[in-house]
Structure 1
Amino acid sequence: MDLLTLLGSILPRDGVLTGTDMAGYVQDWWGRQQGQALCIALPRDTAEVSAIVSACAAAGHGVIPQGGNTGLTGAASPASTAGDRLPVIVSLARMRRIRDIDVANFTISVDAGCILADVHAAAEAHQRLFPVSLGAEGSCQIGGIVSTNAGGTNVLRYGSTRENVLGLEVVLPDGTVWNGMKGLRKDNTGYDLRQLFIGAEGTLGIVTGAVLKLHPLSRVHATAWLALDSPASALAVLNRLRATCGERLTTFELLNAAQLAAVVACQPKLRVPVEAPWHLLVELADMTEAGSLEALLFDTVGEALSGGELLDAIPATSDSQRAAYWALRHGTAEANRSSGVVLSADISVPVASVPAFLENASNAVRNVFARATTMVVSHMGDGNIHFGTHFDTADWQAMRDPAATTLAVRRIVNDCADALGGSFSAEHGIGRKLTEELAKRADPAELLLMRRIKAAIDPAGIMNPGCLLS
């Protein structure tokens, strides 16, 4: 029995997609990577995932796990060429069950196909918070954010996905199911296996379920849009807010004027509150009365204004104004996808080095590509910078070798990060886009350990071939 026929016997009639029905699954989010797959398998539960993986392993076909396909490095999309045995994409879109909410234990157990926004809503219905927050939360899935160790806008206070996962269920490369769905804060019984799969980008197995850590739901927020003249001023404001507001500071997002102009061009109904070279979206969250939290923020911002660290400050005085501020922030990814060609880098450096990186990288790019524009949006509170090098469509089309330009920009920007002790992949992962960068920049001992782990768990190399490790 061939693999397609076998998969058809495992899944219902509409559970195996082929031909033109695969169109939405074989292209990456940017629309730049169009790949090939044997089929799309749509399991409904962990048992079906196990059966699919077992069948693929026996037939020698690769398996590509796919969540919401919102990643930016191509981890969930197949390569354009795949030899004589095309991979099977396993989409978890039908696995959306909230398995359990333990209010007393502050945990929620979910299928890996649950949409992040649905998990937020389920937690909030019980006055709890799952803190991982992304611009793509309306479409990204839990399995995807676990497999990429997603960050987002709340890392400053709550940490990345890794810090908010207590247990996992994983289908291993031979079809075996590892059930590690424990909601324990303390479990010192050997290797912490869940950490192997968080951030592994589907190269060691398919995450099918997760136990997520919940937090008390903040009842009030205080939000402000701040204008300033430089990232160095932003660092001074960050230090001031941390000193006065402590853990109440949940959001500290830095954007430059060029990035916001792209957002407004993409969404003309949005308006930037004030003109300035640099902008901050700042938010506090707490359980206290709204008035006292707002007073804390406004007093601190007032001191920053008096100290010359800020050019202007516009507090959000209504829910609609707060939502408008967040719409500007969350509009950046879509704006960059539709604004000419943006070569986006996902950098992290020590927080105190963010201003130096931005100056060094901007100058280095402009020295080589004088017509390029830099677009910046940074989770500055945790040192993560999304540094975009923007080319007008006409300039890009006129280039003799766009691929060489992409590699040159990547080298320039990543070299600037290296020089400051940083990383070229802060929260987006390696995927298929950055495998060569990892091979070139990672410590040899680190690469050796990763390859040994991969070989031990997936000796046939069927799990997400070509992703993470080239």
Structure 2
Amino acid sequence: MTNAATAEFLADLQDALPKGRFRAVKAGELDDPRGRHVGLAAVVATPHCVDEVSTIARLCHAAGVGIVPLGGGTGLVLGQVAHSGPAPVVISLERMTAIREVYPSENAMVVEAGAILHDVQAAAEAVDRLFPLSLASEGSCRIGGNLATNAGGLNVLRYGNTRDLCLGLEVVMADGTIWHGLKRLRKDNTGYDLKNLMIGSEGTLGIITAATLRLFARPSKTAAAVFVVEDPKSAIDLLAMAQATVGEGISAFELISGVGLDFLTETLPDLRQPFEVRPDWCVLIDLGVSAEAVPEEMLLALFEKALAAGLVSDGVISQSEAQRQEFWAVREHIPVGNRNIGSISSHDISIPVSRIPDFIPEGIAKLQALGDVRVNCFGHLGDGNLHYNVFPAKGLDRKDFDDIRAAVKKTVHDLTHAYEGSVSAEHGVGRLKVEDLERYQDPVKLAAMRAIKTALDPKGILNSGAVLRAAGAT
């Protein structure tokens, strides 16, 4: 488009919607959270309803203008950061925040895509239900973005990814038509599963505007514990013992490394940690049970059994909700400590659980052969999701390692692929991992994905360049 044509299109777009539906880009809102890229936008649209999203999409489709959907902007793989090519229309769902309906007896609720995750959790709690998706960014991320990326988080072990928490969707397609799929059914075998196709597609196949979400009974009692383990193998054996002993009451099972605790000591010294002497490895276990059970006693029994088996050497069990939150504060501040140190390269990977004990040290050895680095390996051990992040040695800066950053990423991803893992466990592909997808993904799956993209978005206007390389791009 020429400048004149762009100006004419934007004028027509604004004329088609009520006043107050467009704004300027806010400082930093389209920037890569890691500070490496800045996103583009011809204009930021702030529709108030699905029909207004439909109007925007219809006009963009007719003019061949790109669209980038924007949720809370917390994504880490440039899914919301179109940093090259023509400036797109950014559709922010910030005005579409309504909790439309809550059905406690059905364990379901209907929410708009711009609803903040914390507000969704609160709406569930108001009717004595639980929406279990839990992320460090839950105070700012939006449910539409969670669905678009199939977010994981802390409770996947018990409740599954966001895909498992969704019953139906309302979606605006590339040409502006609306798919009204907000069903509350657990069973609906009526052809292709369009819902699960949209979830995880990162805004490349349609714009999610509302969702029907699954709710659960709230655990009557909760408790948490931090147990010291010798190594990841002991942690995995402890997980198996915990599942056999406690069963489905385990909501989360998190692996924490001593490197991550060191980062907290270095950058957040006022944060209270569970142990005076920093362990090399520990696990955080969270338990939610019915009224009849006593979670602290269950965790104590697990500790004693694990101690006798040589799987743990020390541990702390929460004696109050405040202490449980202190344990979680340590886990949830690990990414903050990471940012304060400054990573050379960060990796969201998944590995078959039984192979994690071999993967972690092999990866560290390969990375330390590249340079003087530290590896902070932590994450959701119960579902095999590791955040395997590489940092400069103490006293050095990540800029000192710019020349090996690509080699670091390739080393981790090559090894992940060799271990039959995934180079994107829960963050998505975005624009950051398009080349990785091409390198490691099954070619038949890639071909099918491209065919689906062409069928649903023939002009390639929906979040172009995310997940799949844009047509004609190299």
TM superposition score category, shorter chain reference:
over 0.9
Cα deviation code 1:325-365 (max 9, x no counterpart): 11111112222222123411111111111111111111111
C-alpha displacement at 1:12, in angstroms? 4.7
Please say which of residues 103-112 and 53-62 is displaced more in the overlay.
53-62
C-alpha displacement at 1:260, in angstroms? 2.0
Cα deviation code 1:206-259 (max 9, x no counterpart): 000000011111111121011122111111111110111111111100010111
Distance 1:342 1:286 in 2: 41
- Mapping 1:65-464, distance limit 5 Å: 65-79=69-83, 81-82=84-85, 85-274=86-275, 275-289=278-292, 292-369=294-371, 371-391=372-392, 394-399=396-401, 402=402, 405-464=404-463
Distance 1:226 1:6 in 2: 61
The correspondence for 1:51, drawn from 34, 41, 55, is: 55
**What corresponds to 2:4 in structure 1?**
none
| Letter of the 1:41 counterpart | A
Is residue 222–residue 285 contact of structure 1 (8 Å, CA) maintained in 2? yes
Is residue 68–residue 80 contact of structure 2 (8 Å, CA) maintained in 1? yes
Aligned partner of residue 65 in structure 2, secondary structure: coil
Aligned partner of residue 309 in structure 1, secondary structure: coil
Is residue 22–residue 39 contact of structure 1 (8 Å, CA) maintained in 2? no
| Letter of the 1:68 counterpart | G
Distance 1:250 1:266 in 2: 29
Is residue 25–residue 77 contact of structure 1 (8 Å, CA) maintained in 2? no
Aligned partner of residue 225 in structure 2, secondary structure: strand
Distance 2:207 2:159 in 1: 25
Aligned partner of residue 41 in structure 2, secondary structure: coil
C-alpha displacement at 1:261, in angstroms? 2.3
| Letter of the 2:457 counterpart | D
| Letter of the 1:157 counterpart | R
C-alpha displacement at 1:465, in angstroms? 0.6
C-alpha displacement at 1:408, in angstroms? 0.9
Is residue 351–residue 419 contact of structure 2 (8 Å, CA) maintained in 1? yes
Pick closer, same or farther for the CA change 1:295–1:192 going to 2, 3 Å.
Answer: same
Distance 1:44 1:361 in 2: 48
Runs of 4+ in 1 over 6 A off after TM superposition: none
Aligned partner of residue 328 in structure 2, secondary structure: helix
Please say which of residues 441-450 and 314-323 is displaced more in the overlay.
314-323
Is residue 264–residue 271 contact of structure 1 (8 Å, CA) maintained in 2? no
Distance 1:144 1:57 in 2: 22
* Identity over aligned pairs, percent: 42
| Letter of the 2:306 counterpart | A
Aligned partner of residue 246 in structure 2, secondary structure: helix
Aligned partner of residue 2 in structure 1, secondary structure: helix
Pick closer, same or farther for the CA change 1:264–1:58 going to 2, 3 Å.
Answer: farther
Is residue 225–residue 316 contact of structure 2 (8 Å, CA) maintained in 1? yes
Is residue 391–residue 398 contact of structure 2 (8 Å, CA) maintained in 1? no
Is residue 222–residue 295 contact of structure 2 (8 Å, CA) maintained in 1? yes
**What corresponds to 2:12 in structure 1?**
6
| Letter of the 1:228 counterpart | V
Cα deviation code 1:399-439 (max 9, x no counterpart): 4xx2x522211111112211221111111110010000001
| TM-score, length-scaled by structure 2 | 0.94
C-alpha displacement at 1:13, in angstroms? 4.4
Is residue 107–residue 215 contact of structure 2 (8 Å, CA) maintained in 1? yes
Distance 1:373 1:65 in 2: 36
C-alpha displacement at 1:8, in angstroms? 2.3
Aligned residues: 460
5+ long unaligned stretches in structure 2: 1-6, 470-474
Distance 2:152 2:50 in 1: 26
Distance 2:54 2:127 in 1: 32
C-alpha displacement at 1:264, in angstroms? 4.0
Is residue 11–residue 42 contact of structure 1 (8 Å, CA) maintained in 2? no
Is residue 344–residue 398 contact of structure 2 (8 Å, CA) maintained in 1? no
C-alpha displacement at 1:443, in angstroms? 0.8
1:60 aligns with 2:64: yes
Distance 2:364 2:273 in 1: 23
Distance 1:267 1:289 in 2: 39
CA RMSD, 1 decimal = 1.5
Distance 2:232 2:120 in 1: 34
Aligned partner of residue 302 in structure 2, secondary structure: helix
Is residue 237–residue 311 contact of structure 2 (8 Å, CA) maintained in 1? yes
Please say which of residues 327-336 and 374-383 is displaced more in the overlay.
327-336
| Letter of the 2:43 counterpart | C
C-alpha displacement at 1:57, in angstroms? 1.4
| Letter of the 1:4 counterpart | L
Distance 2:400 2:426 in 1: 32
Aligned partner of residue 432 in structure 2, secondary structure: coil
Distance 2:267 2:397 in 1: 20
Distance 1:264 1:69 in 2: 29
Pick closer, same or farther for the CA change 1:338–1:12 going to 2, 3 Å.
Answer: farther
Cα deviation code 1:12-43 (max 9, x no counterpart): 5443223xx44232212222221221111111
Distance 1:354 1:129 in 2: 31
Pick closer, same or farther for the CA change 1:270–1:289 going to 2, 3 Å.
Answer: farther
